[in-house]
Structure 1
Amino acid sequence: MPDNNKELTLSAPLSGPVLTLAKVPDAVFASGAMGDGIAIDPINDTLYSPCAGVIIHVARSSHAVTVRADNGAEILLHLGLDTVELNGEGFAMLVKEGDRVSQSQPLLRYDLDKVGQQCKSLISLLILTNSADFHLRPITLKAVKVGEPLLHIVARNAEAANAEAVAGPEIHGQVRVAHRGGLHARPAALIRQTAQGFKSQAHLHFAGKSAPCNSLIGLMGLAVGEQDEVQVSCQGPDAEAALQALLAALATALPDDHHAAAPVCVAAPERPVEAGTLHGVCAAPGLVGGPLFRLSTISLPTDAGNNDPLEQMPALEAALNHVRCEIDGTLTQAKKQKNADEEAIFAAHLALLEDPALLDAARQSIAQGTAATHAWNQSIEAQCTVLQDTGSALLAERANDLRDLKQRVLRALLGEAWHYDVPAGAIVAAHELTPSDLLQLSAQGVAGLCMAEGGATSHVAILARGKGLPCLVALGSALLDQPQGHAVVLDADGGRLELTPNDERLAEVNQAQIDRQQRRDAQQANAHLPAETRNGVAIEVVANVASSHEAADAFANGADGVGLLRTEFLFVDRQTAPDVEEQRLAYQGVLDAMGEKSVIIRTIDVGGDKQLDYLPLPAEANPVLGLRGIRLAQARPEILDQQLRALLQIRPLQRCRILLPMVTEVGELLQIRQRVEALCLQLGIAQRPEIGVMIEVPAAALQAEQLAEHADFLSIGTNDLSQYTLAMDRDHAGLAARVDALHPALLRLIAMTCEGAAVHKRWVGVCGALASDPLATPVLIGLGVTELSVSPVQIGEIKDRVRQLHEAECQRLARDLLKLSSAAAVREACHQHWPLR
């Protein structure tokens, strides 16, 4: 009888790069429909058993085999994609059904060349077919060799599955919680993430209640407030390390940033009742008018009980997988667009979707005959009640995230198309909107949002502010009684929803919108003109782009050129590297899209935390400090060589400048420059293009004068320079918002860079996020920056900002900012000296 309580480590059955299922070019496997798992692109010709067990199935065409491990986990090993169509040709199965096999025992051999040429892909799958009974946890997503640890498998019955792991004494520690607002969603997600990095079981104890640290909902349900003292207990093989990590995570405050803070505009609850007006709380500022459109909620079917668990359980798992894929897509998009708010919110949703408190309750209900729809609905509502009963308004707002997941999974279960037919320009009214609702409504062009419930610190409020959508919350149930389609005015700044505006009021609101749009139009109308300060100093305002399409958009928006072409877009999300011709065509497309303007092309900046599937690199303890940028180019010179050959073949070459990332010393620059000159000689090119250096590590800023002697220009990447200077990972959930490039230390490095470049009469640009911040424009000009590379949509705004400034005043005040003590102080001073219009 299988011991399904035992944790199991699977070893790699093949050698090669590891891929997540989402990257497998097969819809069935990628969707998780056959179960959770992982993929390997093999470089060897033999498939080995990942564990000891029994062969329970051998495919007729010898391309796949299933092993049942001693703990009951059933592992399908599938060699290649669509290889069933080969009918066994090129395969030699070495085992038969019923055989007992040991870990790393050969199971089948195949002709690597023959099979590779005839099948769709050699990418091979390891699938846990009974995923409903087990959790699968990847150990690595790097390249592996046969026999190396690949995955952990743990029974879903957490207590039984971890029986061995929790052996040993239980240790305790106390700490005062430093997170603003206590353990709401983000801090709880940080604690959960920390706990999951260890094998030991960890619990948080507060006010006579306890919760496992791997349960987001359980942690939030404790209603731990800021400065409350809590106890942490850990038991297991790495209990001491887990305890110290958790205590540190609890004691390290999330920054006081816009994630937790409500907007400055809030309605006064004491305001007298006005006829025809509903009062609420401002969640996102703005003033708009338009027709009211009311959204309705999902209705559940009546057949709640007497259902077959064998039908309902797979239905729930399929719905959960569907929603996971949707959220993964949203996360990918948010990462590409550098939308930190969206990324953090939906990462928390993904964590909630894995929460044992939710999943176990729903599965238990299904096992008792409840329909999957009702089981999921009941599980969510029970946890919402827990959060609302804590008495914490902040945690009660987080119940909205749970209801978002409720709706998404229910839609997947019911087969409803998740789409609201809302006219553009409408003001949407709802009981309470969810983050995923908001993303869809924003894409449909609605003018504003208002809710009967909700809060100003909710995730919906954060997203509404990021999208520029005026939003009112807590308007009360009377909102839902309003007739559909009649004109209203949403004055979010004043906390009012005007239900019966007359024609004069609607005209006034319309005029305010027109004025705002005219201001934007005026900026855009002048966007194609040069940007000069009031005293005639020219500042180039160029664009950061990642494709020819984005370059065309930048050109249309008035960019003076491309200040940063990120070439990684050519190298990621594919199985092989682009050849010289493919690269040449891509770079030429960007150059052509920019008319007669110059383009700065950064050489490939991957490695460390940015991995390529076809470029296996060793695992690194600190990837941000590891093999990346120019260091990778030195380790794998053939990749940079191909890229340089492609760059040198675009025409006209004089409009192309090459930018080198992650340079830390002059020798690195000289080595690449010599290689470019050698390639120019080979290709018969008389004059090499200009070569610039990214200033994104403190060492480069400190050596700016020495680098400028041999470089043609310097470009400051404030994103990386910030994290390296402040020793804070800009992707760290608890620190990212504190990585502010207006920190005086950063400004000193920028000043030093400009001073060093001036010695050799080199110009300095900024291509990091700071260049797109209009508050920073006068500071950068004052420190000596003459080029700002920004997002295409901000070209007009930044040029308009430049034209308002006088260089001498910027220089005088920027020097004073270097003496301030914090980024917050710098920002406050900037608001006072150079207020935004």
Structure 2
Amino acid sequence: MQNNNNKELTLSAPLSGPVLTLGKVPDAVFASGAMGDGIAIDPLNDTLHAPCAGVVIHVARTGHALTLRADNGAEILLHLGLDTVELQGDGFTVLVKEGARVSNGQPLLRYDLDKVGQQCKSLISLLILTNGERFQARPITLKTVKVGEPLLHIVSRENTSVNADVSDGPEAKGQVRIAHRGGLHARPAALIRQTAQGFSSQSQLHFAGKSAPCTSLIGLMGLAIGEQDEVQVSCQGPDAEAALQALLSALATALPDDHHADAPVSVATNKRPAEAGVLHGVCAAPGLVGGPLFRLHAIKLPSDAGGNDPVQQKQALDLALKQVRSDIDATLNQAQKHRNTDEEAIFAAHLALLEDPALLDAAFQSIEQGSAATHAWSQSIDVQCEVLLNTGSALLAERANDLRDLKQRVLRALLGEAWHYQVPAGAIVAAHELTPSDLLQLSAQGVAGLCMAEGGATSHVAILARGKGLPCMVALGSSLLDQAQGQSVVLDADGGRLELAPSAERLAEVQQAQIDRQQRRAAQQTQAHLPAETRNGVHIEVVANVASSHEAADAFANGADGVGLLRTEFLFVDRQTAPDENEQRAAYQAVLDAMGDKSVIIRTIDVGGDKQLDYLPLPVEANPVLGLRGIRLAQARPEILDQQLRALLQVSPLQRCRILLPMVTEVDELLHIRQRVDQLCVELGISQRPEIGVMIEVPAAALQAEQLAEHADFLSIGTNDLSQYTLAMDRDHAGLAARVDALHPALLRLIAMTCAGAAVHKRWVGVCGALASDPLATPVLIGLGVSELSVSPVQIGEIKDRVRQLHQAECQRLSHDLLKLSSAAAVRHACHQHWPLR
């Protein structure tokens, strides 16, 4: 609805459903605030309505998004779902045309809820204020809304800047140390801006003699504030104290999922002293390789005298964009098929960028003025790259590389150029800066390594290189491009060195190291199907963590001795209704069938708390990980567990199926489930009883391990949850995640206590948390009494090989000494000393 003041506006909900802040949207482009401030809704209906009266100024070609200009001048992008551009309009019906005047609440587009929901990444839909330089958005509610209910308040920045009440109001000041990894780059700056805009007071951030309004993204990033830098915050206005506390909290709480947190620590920079015959750079992906240098060159555009036919050039650009979208779709399909989430996220963002009005409108405007499509597209990208580079943020500068990737791909399509690099297998590729699509092509051609004159260790190329296992160095400087084509070099990414004139002996040494590594991996794989026994003949089961029959088949092919943890949540999430008994039984049977004659441990449903089901509404909890989850949910909703147990009891052969209960904290919970299983077996006419185990995920369970083992058939330690509950640190908290280490002596004491308690009743103990997949921890776990390790399928061969190097008696003696150490770091150091990794 429109307010009386023409500069202010209340937007109504365009959809019905739960409301989310942009920071919770699972898409980097929207969540970062790069496209503007706004709000998100997870829709429950199939029609998008106008949030206000206005004019439709843009409709996406694929019908999944449109933009309205409200009567006060605010421009609002309505974007239905994430990655819905990939559907190319399938399932969408646009009900209005560009230029049309619409009223508040008028239907704008309709979509097929089932079809779109099954094919896109998420139905979460966005309402984005795209001209945030003139207006700011203030959420009215973060609860579930219905169409037409008040959602956002849009306020003119002109009004707030001259607000006398603000400038004359009370003032509050404070200081804080920045917790965000990498400092105040785009994502945290967007969070600070969003926080500041929720208050009437004016807020300023002060650092190193400079200041910036907390509502200015560019201003905040321009302060060049680093991680752990101390800053001052000042707020003035009627709610100054509340604004100050909210901003201090936002600055002191690191954001999760910063990609650069995954980047390896650089051991070299291009500021190191000169060394003859060596270029120094930054390690983006570790490794040591040798081979011939192969230089790549950028595309050069033909000259453009202008005066081109706009209609022809628009058609050419449209065709090129369509071709590139199709190519990226194919890349995404492959990434999804191989479950490569990093690759999937990067190229999904590329698809979103291809729909960015800032890029498309600028290019088509240049074409209208007579430019060739090639030059219009190139200039449009260059302008946006310049904007990112001028922010002063190294992270945003690296994201400009994604735009250059799209520039290159579309230009190739316009010029009719196929992938034109004939790179010999085993070459070390040198370039000014590689793009994500370059990397995928080069990886497929079998190159040995990558080096770039520019680029950064947190770039998308670096992330992909690490995922592909390709050694990669960046920031080597322009002299890299002066090196002769085909000369032999050694790329020592671990040491941050590119050796330009290695001796024959050095090349032979590097080659031998590569051969040794490949042979070791090959040997591990050839032995992966054999039992894992220590040097003194103690058998250790090495099994797999899986979440589907497809993953179980991968585990079996990789030599798993069984399934140590089947996460049954895969059946229950991302759907509108619960799976029935028949669907569950078929899914569990498929996992058993995929594992041949090996046993399968199936964990009962572990949702609740922070893992919600759409069809199972649960109360919002202040501390979800301490709330209604795991076996507690089964107690609250026993019909869900009953149905799952019925399905499990009907698999064949039942003796290969073991049932695992999550989040058990006391013996009565186990006894209750045992009794219920007995009752169901009688009802189903089943004489055999499956083994029932308990997950040790909370300290209470570890402390009562002996009592639990009296009534359980086995115990399985979930080190991920046990770590966070023992250390009182959220394992998803970016600022604390590195400290949530399961090799902490306190955790090891709980593991030792669990094994000792189980031994009293001759029960075996397994570990299915991430610690089981860490080869450094293998001897420790064996020494403390663990006899089963459940790991990711690709690590079966490696962990079995590690077991065969060990002697149980030595592991026992040394592991119990580790319990006396003071920290996880001390334990890790001791492990490296006692049992070095090959």
Same fold by TM-score greater than 0.5 = yes
- For 2:218 and 2:418, the matched residues in 1 are separated by 26
Q: State the shift of 1:825 in Å.
A: 1.6
**Residue correspondences, number:** 772
Q: State the shift of 1:600 in Å.
A: 0.7
2:729–2:740 CA contact under 8 A, matched in 1 = yes
Q: State the shift of 1:706 in Å.
A: 2.7
- For 2:270 and 2:90, the matched residues in 1 are separated by 61
Specify the alignment match of 2:86 in structure 1: none
Q: Which amino acid aligns with 2:175?
A: V
Specify the alignment match of 1:694 in structure 2: 695
Q: Name the SS of the counterpart of 1:542 in structure 2.
A: strand
How does 1:124-143 map onto structure 2 within 5 Å? Answer: 132=130
Q: Name the SS of the counterpart of 1:40 in structure 2.
A: coil
**Which deviates more, 773-782 or 658-667?**
658-667
Specify the alignment match of 1:468 in structure 2: 469
1:430–1:450 CA contact under 8 A, matched in 2 = yes
Q: State the shift of 1:720 in Å.
A: 1.7
Specify the alignment match of 2:222 in structure 1: 221
Aligned match for 2:401, one of 399, 404, 410: 404
Q: 1:592 to 1:125 in 2, by over 3 A?
A: closer
**Which deviates more, 563-572 or 697-706?**
697-706
2:621–2:627 CA contact under 8 A, matched in 1 = yes
Q: Which amino acid aligns with 1:473?
A: V
1:590 aligns with 2:591: yes
2:533–2:540 CA contact under 8 A, matched in 1 = yes
Q: 1:7 to 1:173 in 2, by over 3 A?
A: farther
Q: State the shift of 1:263 in Å.
A: 4.0
Aligned match for 2:187, one of 186, 189, 197: 189
1:231 aligns with 2:236: no
Specify the alignment match of 1:676 in structure 2: 677
For residues 617-657 of structure 1, the C-alpha deviation after alignment (integer angstroms, 9 at most, x for no partner) is: 44333333333322333333333333222222211110011
Q: Name the SS of the counterpart of 2:191 in structure 1.
A: helix
- For 1:491 and 1:15, the matched residues in 2 are separated by 52
Q: 1:704 to 1:262 in 2, by over 3 A?
A: same
Q: State the shift of 1:543 in Å.
A: 0.7
Q: State the shift of 1:431 in Å.
A: 1.3
Specify the alignment match of 1:742 in structure 2: 743
Q: Name the SS of the counterpart of 1:674 in structure 2.
A: helix
Specify the alignment match of 2:825 in structure 1: 824
- For 2:486 and 2:139, the matched residues in 1 are separated by 51
Specify the alignment match of 1:795 in structure 2: 796
How does 1:542-691 map onto structure 2 within 5 Å? Answer: 542-691=543-692
1:778–1:810 CA contact under 8 A, matched in 2 = yes
Specify the alignment match of 1:93 in structure 2: none
Specify the alignment match of 2:518 in structure 1: 517
Q: State the shift of 1:672 in Å.
A: 2.6
2:165–2:237 CA contact under 8 A, matched in 1 = yes
Q: 1:118 to 1:574 in 2, by over 3 A?
A: closer
Q: Which amino acid aligns with 2:177?
A: V
- For 1:206 and 1:562, the matched residues in 2 are separated by 54
Q: State the shift of 1:763 in Å.
A: 1.4
Q: Name the SS of the counterpart of 2:174 in structure 1.
A: strand
Q: 1:49 to 1:69 in 2, by over 3 A?
A: farther
Q: 1:517 to 1:590 in 2, by over 3 A?
A: same
Q: State the shift of 1:147 in Å.
A: 6.8
1:374 aligns with 2:379: yes
2:696–2:716 CA contact under 8 A, matched in 1 = yes
Structure 2: runs of 5 or more not aligned? 27-34, 58-65, 81-88
Specify the alignment match of 1:174 in structure 2: 174
Specify the alignment match of 2:725 in structure 1: 724
Q: 1:432 to 1:213 in 2, by over 3 A?
A: farther
Q: Which amino acid aligns with 1:173?
A: K
Q: Name the SS of the counterpart of 1:534 in structure 2.
A: coil
How does 1:57-96 map onto structure 2 within 5 Å? Answer: none
How does 1:213-292 map onto structure 2 within 5 Å? Answer: 213=214, 218-225=219-226, 228-234=229-235, 239-251=240-252, 259=262, 262-264=265-267, 269-270=272-273, 272-274=275-277, 278-292=279-293
Aligned match for 2:8, one of 6, 9, 32: 6
Q: 1:749 to 1:244 in 2, by over 3 A?
A: farther
How does 1:705-784 map onto structure 2 within 5 Å? Answer: 705-784=706-785
Q: Name the SS of the counterpart of 2:382 in structure 1.
A: helix
Q: 1:189 to 1:332 in 2, by over 3 A?
A: farther
Q: 1:640 to 1:595 in 2, by over 3 A?
A: same
2:709–2:763 CA contact under 8 A, matched in 1 = yes
Q: Which amino acid aligns with 1:262?
A: V
Specify the alignment match of 1:61 in structure 2: none
Q: State the shift of 1:787 in Å.
A: 0.8
**Which deviates more, 814-823 or 540-549?**
814-823
Q: 1:13 to 1:482 in 2, by over 3 A?
A: closer
Q: State the shift of 1:818 in Å.
A: 2.1
- For 2:116 and 2:284, the matched residues in 1 are separated by 54
How does 1:484-523 map onto structure 2 within 5 Å? Answer: 484=485, 488-493=489-494, 495-498=496-499, 508-523=509-524
Q: Which amino acid aligns with 2:402?
A: L
Q: State the shift of 1:547 in Å.
A: 1.8
- For 1:413 and 1:338, the matched residues in 2 are separated by 24
Q: Name the SS of the counterpart of 2:639 in structure 1.
A: helix
- For 2:734 and 2:193, the matched residues in 1 are separated by 14
- For 1:36 and 1:440, the matched residues in 2 are separated by 37
Q: 1:77 to 1:559 in 2, by over 3 A?
A: closer
Q: Which amino acid aligns with 2:173?
A: G
1:36–1:131 CA contact under 8 A, matched in 2 = no
Q: State the shift of 1:119 in Å.
A: 13
Q: State the shift of 1:441 in Å.
A: 4.8
TM-score normalised by length of structure 2: 0.75
**Which deviates more, 826-835 or 805-814?**
805-814
Q: State the shift of 1:17 in Å.
A: 11
Q: 1:153 to 1:684 in 2, by over 3 A?
A: farther
- For 1:693 and 1:234, the matched residues in 2 are separated by 52
Q: Which amino acid aligns with 1:410?
A: K
Q: Which amino acid aligns with 1:196?
A: Q
Q: State the shift of 1:419 in Å.
A: 7.2
Q: State the shift of 1:297 in Å.
A: 3.9
**Which deviates more, 550-559 or 291-300?**
291-300
Structure 1: runs of 5 or more not aligned? 24-31, 58-64, 88-96, 388-394
Q: State the shift of 1:279 in Å.
A: 4.9
Q: Which amino acid aligns with 1:637?
A: P
Q: 1:40 to 1:451 in 2, by over 3 A?
A: closer
Q: State the shift of 1:562 in Å.
A: 0.7
Aligned match for 2:43, one of 40, 44, 51: 40
CA RMSD of aligned residues (A): 5.6
- For 2:346 and 2:736, the matched residues in 1 are separated by 18
TM-score normalised by length of structure 1: 0.75
Taking only the aligned residue pairs, the percentage that are identical comes to 65
1:534–1:803 CA contact under 8 A, matched in 2 = yes
For residues 422-453 of structure 1, the C-alpha deviation after alignment (integer angstroms, 9 at most, x for no partner) is: 66543221113356755665566532111123
Q: Name the SS of the counterpart of 1:560 in structure 2.
A: coil
Specify the alignment match of 1:526 in structure 2: 527
1:175–1:250 CA contact under 8 A, matched in 2 = no
Q: 1:659 to 1:437 in 2, by over 3 A?
A: farther
2:691–2:713 CA contact under 8 A, matched in 1 = yes
Q: 1:232 to 1:687 in 2, by over 3 A?
A: same
